[in-house]
Amino acid sequence: MTDKKTPDLDFLLRQVHTDSYRLIDALPTMIWLANPAGECVFINQQWQIFTGQIQEEAKGRGWMTPIHPDDKTAWHQSFQRAVADKAAFRSECRIKRRDGVYRWIAMTSAPLENEAHQIQGFAGSFMDVTELKEVDRVKDEFVTTVSHELRTPLTIIREGVSQIQDGLAGPVSEQQKKLLEMAISNMDRLERIIYDLLDISKIEEASQDVKREMIDLVAIAKEVIATMMITAQKKGLTLSGAFAEERMEVYANRDRISQVFINLIGNAIKFTEQGKIEVRVEGHEKEAICRVSDTGKGIAAEDLPRVFGKFQQFGRTPGPGEMGTGLGLAICKGILDLHQGNIEVASEAGKGACFTFTLPKFNPMAMFKEYMRDSAQTADKQHGSVSVILFHVQNAAAFVNRLGEEKTQTIFNEMKEALKPQLKRKTYAVVKKPNTIIAAFPLTARREALQLTENSRRVFSKVLREHKVDILLDMMCKVITYPVDQKNVDVLVQELFY
């Protein structure tokens, strides 16, 4: 009995597998399947119709052939990162249609796991978004153009009205002053709208091109609280901060993260009539968590899903003269998306609101990888290079034996900091081990990097002299240049750290 059923079960499983492929093949969307290494093993009929490729041509890395040459490197690196991280992926690139015309395609993919949560491969889809991108381009161009065109005449009008209000053009009655104050107040609001429109346009255009560095979230939060304290006190509100640690370092753009705090605290002040506003910063193993909570009017449950959309005001109706642009939270979300962060809100109508945003915390290797990815993108755009120098102290044991581990580590950290003035451009350096320093020099050719190794030796010797250490430094230097020596940033970083 068992022997008869087993072949039937096997046949059924094979049939289900075959029918699944037939179903995928019949879908109107372009579908692909890849193995755990990210190599294509299947494309459906729609992909073949769109690109003109057949199954055999698309397998392995062949499916990337139709990608536009200008998009291929950045797209491939982003996809390989998702494969390495076993993460979902979304990106856009131009793909050549079978008629030779390039079309903008949005690709999404997700890892396929078995019951033991082991990655078995990836499944993805492509969608032609050329028309949608054109609509967005025209809309954004219109908004940006109008905003720029409005800014100059608005400034001139405001200055003229201000001079009339100050009596420079003749006597002004009290009633006229009040009317002029209302006019200036509304012009100021229009100016804020213009700047917010320009700001969100810049954020949307920035994509991944955001300049990041190590910043202290606690310090930024304290600065913003101090700046906005007077505004809160004028409304009779308590504005305070609570910080789990003295420092909370993340890899981010300082000005943009300051803007997130300013927008969230500003909103809290605006929509809170009495009570308090609290800013909290705390750290977890993989992320930094920041919260801004208030005892204000809150947000109705039905409005919560649309909180981070553009031009949203909802039921948090402010008083006269306090109307906002409805762009502040959309700007916050855009900024955090650029930083691989997240933002969410918990609120009930009449019970205040708590906005929580997170930013990823990286270990030294991950941090260096992020920096290299940013630098590589800049280098690709400018047809330049990124050089990495590995400084390895081969007689580190002599330093530890003579000075101890703590003193040795202090000296190595000072050596790391001493590298930064070597170039006018920003440099990121990290101590890998007590005897190794890795430094990246953006937009630096190999020849210049080799010269830097000689300059760095003199800098390191100076640090030793300042600490009155008479041990002769035995240092080996290795230069690796992107994309000359290695075109894959992730592989380059992996080679450096292991």
**pLDDT at res. 266:** 92
One-character DSSP codes across 181-201: HHHHHHHHHHHHHHHHHHHHH
CA gap 59, 34 in Å, rounded: 9
Residues 314 and 192 in one domain: no
Residues 158 and 290 in one domain: no
CA gap 382, 176 in Å, rounded: 56
List the one residue out of 127, 122, 107, 125 whose CA is nearest residue 33. 122
Radius of gyration of the chain (CA): 29
**Domain of 143: which CATH number?**
1.10.287.130
CA gap 346, 369 in Å, rounded: 34
Overall number of domains in the chain: 4
| Domain's final residue, options 360, 394, 428 | 360
Residues 259 and 342 in one domain: yes
57 near 87, Cβ under 8 Å? no
**Domain of 471: which CATH number?**
3.30.70.270
452 near 422, Cβ under 8 Å? yes
What is the pTM (predicted TM-score) of this model? Answer: 0.61
Residues 220 and 177 in one domain: no
Give, for 269, the enclosing helix (H) or strand (E): helix 254-270
Residues 218 and 351 in one domain: yes
Please provide residue 341's backbone torsions phi and psi, each rounded to the nearest 5 degrees: -100, -170
- The torsion region of residue 409 among left (phi > 0), alpha (psi -120 to 50) and beta comes to alpha
**pLDDT at res. 13:** 43
* Residue matched to tokens 């580590």: 409
Residues 394 and 457 in one domain: yes
Residues 47 and 104 in one domain: yes
CA gap 5, 10 in Å, rounded: 9
List the one residue out of 414, 419, 389, 421 whose CA is nearest residue 399. 414
| Domain's final residue, options 206, 222, 256 | 206
Note the helical H segments in 314-445: 328-338, 364-381, 396-403, 405-419
**pLDDT at res. 205:** 65
CB atoms within 10 A of CB 88: 12
Q: Which domain holds residue 307?
A: 213-360
Residues 257 and 395 in one domain: no
**Domain of 275: which CATH number?**
3.30.565.10
Residues 91 and 154 in one domain: no
Note the helical H segments in 207-243: 217-234
**pLDDT at res. 293:** 95
**pLDDT at res. 12:** 43
Residues 222 and 354 in one domain: yes
- In a structure prediction context, what are the per-residue pLDDT tens digits for the chain, which is 498 residues long? 444 444 454 544 454 455 566 777 777 788 888 888 778 888 888 888 999 998 888 888 888 889 888 888 777 767 777 777 677 777 788 999 999 999 998 888 888 887 777 778 888 888 888 888 887 777 777 777 776 777 778 888 888 888 898 888 889 898 888 889 888 888 887 887 777 777 777 776 655 457 788 899 999 999 999 999 999 999 999 999 999 888 998 989 898 999 999 999 999 999 999 999 999 999 888 889 999 999 999 988 888 888 888 766 665 444 444 555 678 898 899 899 888 899 999 988 888 999 999 998 877 777 888 888 888 888 888 889 999 998 888 998 899 899 988 888 888 888 888 877 765 556 666 766 668 888 888 888 888 888 888 888 888 889 999 999 888 889 899 999 999 998 888 888 888 877
**pLDDT at res. 279:** 97
Q: Look up residue 247 and give its two tokens.
A: 């420092």
Residues 81 and 161 in one domain: no
**Domain of 72: which CATH number?**
3.30.450.20
| Domain's final residue, options 325, 360, 395 | 360
**pLDDT at res. 103:** 93
Residues 316 and 442 in one domain: no
